[in-house]
Homo-oligomer: A and B are copies of this chain.
Amino acid sequence: MKKLILLFFTSIFFNIFLNAENGYRLWLRYDLISDQKILENYQGTINSILTEYNSPTMDIAATEFQTGLEGLLGIQISKSSITDHDGTIILGTNEKSEIINSIITQSEFEKINDEGFIIKTADYNDKEVIIISGKKDIGVLYGVFHFLRLLQTHSDIENLSVISSPKIKLRILNHWDNLDRTIERGYAGFSIWDWHRLPGYIDPRYIDYARANASIGINGTAITSVNANALVLTHDYLLKVKALADIFRPYGIRVYLTARFSAPIEIGGLKTADPLNTEVKNWWKEKAKEIYSLIPDFGGLLVKANSEGQPGQQDYGSSHLEGANMLAEALLPFNGVVMWRAFVYHNEDPEDRAKQAYNEFKPYDGKFLKNVFIQIKNGPIDFQPREPFHPLFGAMPETPLMMEFQITQEYLGQATTLTYLAPMYKECLETDTYAEGKGSTVAKIIDGSLDDYSLTGIAGVSNIGTDCNWTGHVFGQSNWYAFGRLAWNHELTSEKIADEWIKMTFSNDPEFVNKVSAIMLSSRETVVNYMTPLGLHHLMGWDHHYGPGPWIKDKQRTDWTSVYYHRADSIGIGFDRTGTGSGAVNHYYPEVAEKFSSLDNCPEEYLLWFHHMDWNYKLKSGRTLWEELCYRYYQGAESVREMIKTWEALKDKIDEERFNHVRMLLNIQHKEAIWWRNACVLYFQTFSKQEIPAGLEKPDHTLEYYESLKFPYAPGIKPKWE
């Protein structure tokens, strides 16, 4: 009978849901488990849910759990109030659930923090039960999502004993969303925040956004662009923000806003925004009071001041310290934080942009108020496909430093490119800064374990938009997922996260999982190879950052050009940042600085970041620099072709809609890889004056052709401010 039902169900399934596989469901798919043995095992282990009390978060946890279990197991899951049978799952905190308190000891609870959870198989009244508990309800919700993940990935659920807590306190998405719903560097449509129809219209998407984030432990969202608009701080807009905050609250997500430094002038009617001016200080204090009266758990303010034309304290002769502390003082009574971005550069050309943030911020270490974070991009330039870690990590032991990763693929092929970014995030997090001797990894700085920060935080610049699949490229979802999982636990491997995501998003079929995992794990290196190999950086097209533009020069600022960074000439290529050059390498601790400074010891992936090298320099491979450069570009493009072959062979393993979606995008990516390769090799050849090595196919267009390409309507372009 059961078999028959399933057969019927499956046959109808694909017929009636046209476009059901549009990717909207992300990794939160609760379709019936197709492996009969595993299904029967789960069905035999689980049959009901027990909660001893209600709360907004507990109700959400119970409903999500019931929905998930019924979908995955294809059986009715009752909400029971007694445990007179095996197979009950009990949800609750130790504080409010008597049953849980009687099973899990206080010392076990001490192993988790306020957001952590414990999942445990236990006996209760001679019945086998499973406990999902936390110190707070939000821990229970996180535990529920973890348990569902176990089922989605066909994991063993016998004798469970899971104890898990997030290593970092604030795990935040940064949306670079404008109030007109365009997204700066967004490649997945409009902003999901429908400001015009808020607060009256609550798009169901807000709830699914909260579910998705809670499922991976993200607990904050800064919903407006760092190039901020003061309007969002007006009362009418704050009512809209409140509506979002009210939805997100039971999912453990706090709302943050970006503060435009000149808001006291623009919406406050003041004549100045000088951070030392009393009226200005009071304006911000009153504004904070207003915000917290509407949103008692408001997270705080994210600020980009005096960078790329944004207003700031320096307009009044004040420092970043004074600017940040003024805002922090306003938020302090309400426990709000200031996330002050270190991505700043003066309007004058710096000697080396890689040095500027360090020079500006290091002197203030220890002087910020306790609710100030300095939010630092992973590398010292700007989210390039590969950068060495930012030298500020380790340089400010007295100041909480917050990591800013970019999830949206501004410089990594935007929404036509499959590139899994966990390896990039991990590469940065696991690098040793030697700040306090060997083992002082970036991760230990961020999670506070090295310097015992009072605050810890990590931010990811979101790739989410109104596209039905959220991220434009369905594989873009993996980067949102990976960011959340690493923010919770940076010790997870890229392999483990990919494995989870593939199984939850597509299939548990071992061949599919293995092959797609292989594609994902090599995909970022592939992009580096065909875009910016060997430490090259900032070679992209002007303005839109789409495609290659190594020839970009003669702009308002030299450090907005490509030639500033690659410095190719008849002798060689690369930016000398050693002692003979800009000296930026000396911002690192000696162990790191020495390694990067030495041509012999510098890892090949950073060579041209730190050194200007002769075209004929012999690398370890035995190839000259010119040959290796060509080889990497060609290897990168070739790898995309191989990705396509692998994907094509998986046609029958998943639904046609998502298969075709990825297939078409991989074909575009292949064209783009060849475009990058050809444009860069032809351009650098004008300096090296050497042939493309034998055996590599000749570019099918001229350099002039590539230079002539124009993309006036490439998506995600930054609003002009000059």
Separation of A415 and B197 alpha carbons in the complex (Å):
9
Select which of B179, B181, B195, B713 is within 8 A of A180 by beta carbon.
B713
Kindly list chain B residues whose C-beta atoms are within 8 Å of the C-beta of A231.
712-713
Q: Does A30 contact B (CB under 8 A)?
A: yes
A24 within 8 A of B: yes
A183 nearest CB across to chain B (Å) = 11
- A668 partner residues in chain B, CB cutoff 8 A: 197, 200-201
A interface residues (Cβ-Cβ under 8 A, vs B): 4-5, 8-9, 11-12, 15-20, 22, 24-25, 28, 30-32, 67, 70-71, 74, 76, 179-181, 189-190, 195-197, 200-202, 204-205, 208, 231, 415-416, 466-468, 657, 660-661, 664-665, 667-668, 671, 711-715
A196 with B713, Cβ < 8 A, contacts A8-B5, A190-B189, A190-B466 known? yes
CA distance A67 to B18 in the complex (A): 9
Complex partner residue of A25 from B18, B31, B467, B711, CB under 8 angstroms: B18
Chain B residues with CB under 8 Å of A11's CB are 76
Supply 15 further A-B pairs (C-beta < 8 A) apart from A4-B5, A19-B24. Answer: A5-B5, A9-B9, A16-B31, A16-B67, A17-B17, A18-B28, A22-B24, A24-B468, A179-B712, A196-B714, A200-B667, A200-B671, A201-B665, A205-B468, A468-B468
> In the assembled complex, which residues on chain B have CB atoms less than 8 Å from the CB atom of A18?
25, 28, 67, 208
Q: Please name the residue on chain B nearest to A5 by beta carbon.
A: B8
Cβ-defined contact, A416 with B712, below 8 A: no
Q: Is the CB of A195 within 8 A of B713?
A: yes
Task: Report yes or no: B202 in contact with A71, Cβ–Cβ below 8 A.
Answer: no
Q: CA of A575 to CA of B314 in the docked complex: distance in angstroms?
A: 57
Does the CB pair A70–B15 fall under 8 Å?
Answer: yes
Complex-state Cα separation, A143 to B24, whole angstroms: 33
Please state if A657 and B71 are interface contacts (CB–CB under 8 Å): no
Do B71 and A15 touch (CB < 8 A)?
Answer: yes
With a cutoff of 8 Å between Cβ atoms, the chain B residues found around residue A468 in the complex are: 24, 205, 468
Q: Are A466 and B20 in contact (CB under 8 A)?
A: no
Collect the chain B residues with CB atoms within 8 Å of residue A76's CB. 11
11 cross-chain CB contacts under 8 A: A5-B8, A16-B71, A18-B208, A179-B712, A195-B713, A196-B711, A197-B665, A200-B668, A201-B416, A201-B664, A204-B657
What's the minimum C-beta distance from A497 to chain B, rounded to whole angstroms?
Answer: 23
- A31 CA to B17 CA in the complex, in Å? 9
A484 to B4, CA, bound (A): 42
Contact yes or no, A17 B20, CB < 8 A: yes
Are A30 and B9 in contact (CB-based, < 8 A)? no
Alpha-carbon distance between A657 and B202 when the two chains are bound, in angstroms: 11
Assembled-state Cα–Cα distance A25/B15 (Å)? 13
Q: Complex Cα distance A713/B432, Å?
A: 46
Q: Which chain B residue lies CB-closest to A8?
A: B5
Interchain residue pairs A-B with the least CB separation, the first 6: A16-B71, A200-B668, A180-B713, A179-B713, A201-B664, A15-B70
When chains A and B are docked, how far (Å) is the Cα of A671 from the Cα of B239?
Answer: 16
B415 touches A208 (CB 8 A): no
Q: Judge whether B15 and A715 touch: CB under 8 Å.
A: no
Contact of A70 with B189 at beta-carbon distance under 8 Å, contacts A24-B22, A665-B201, A712-B231 already known: no
Of the candidates B32, B195, B204, which one forms a contact with A19 in the assembled complex, judged by CB atoms under 8 Å apart? B204
In the bound complex, residues from chain B placing their C-beta under 8 Å from that of A714 are 196
Question: Which residue of the partner chain B has the closest CB to A71?
Answer: B16
Contact yes or no, B22 A20, CB < 8 A: no
Residue pair B15, A67 in contact (C-beta under 8 Å): yes
User: Which of B9, B19, B711 contacts A12, CB < 8 Å?
Assistant: B9
Q: Which of A189, A195, A664 has the most CB of B within 10 A?
A: A189
What residue in chain B is nearest A656 (Cβ atoms)?
A: B204
Interchain CB contact under 8 A, B664 and A12: no
CB distance from A475 to the nearest CB of B (A): 14
- Chain B: CB-nearest residue to A717: B180
B197:A74 contact, CB within 8 angstroms? no
The residue in chain B whose Cβ has the minimal distance to the Cβ of A14 is B67
Q: Which residues of B contact A415 (CB under 8 A)?
A: 197
Bound form: Cα–Cα A27–B208 in Å: 24
Distance between Cα atoms of A646 and B189 in the complex (Å): 35
* Residues of the B chain whose Cβ atoms lie less than 8 Å from the Cβ of A208: 18-19
Which residues of B are found within 8 Å of A201, using beta-carbon distances? 416, 664-665, 668
Distance in angstroms between the alpha carbons of A30 and B19 in the assembled complex: 13
B16 A30 Cβ-Cβ under 8 A: yes
Residues of B near A715 (CB, < 8 A) are 181, 196
**Which of A15, A18, A20, A468 neighbours the largest number of chain B CB atoms within 10 Å of its CB?**
A18
- Cα–Cα distance between A200 and B672 once the two chains are bound (Å): 11
CA A18 to CA B485, docked complex, whole Å: 23
Q: Are A25 and B19 in contact (CB under 8 A)?
A: yes
Min Cβ gap A461→B in Å is 20
Tell me the bound Cα distance from A231 to B180 in angstroms: 25
Contact (A664, B200) CB under 8 Å given A12-B70, A12-B71: yes
Instruction: Select which of B22, B25, B67, B202 is within 8 A of A664 by beta carbon.
Output: B202
* A667→B9 CA distance, assembly (Å): 39
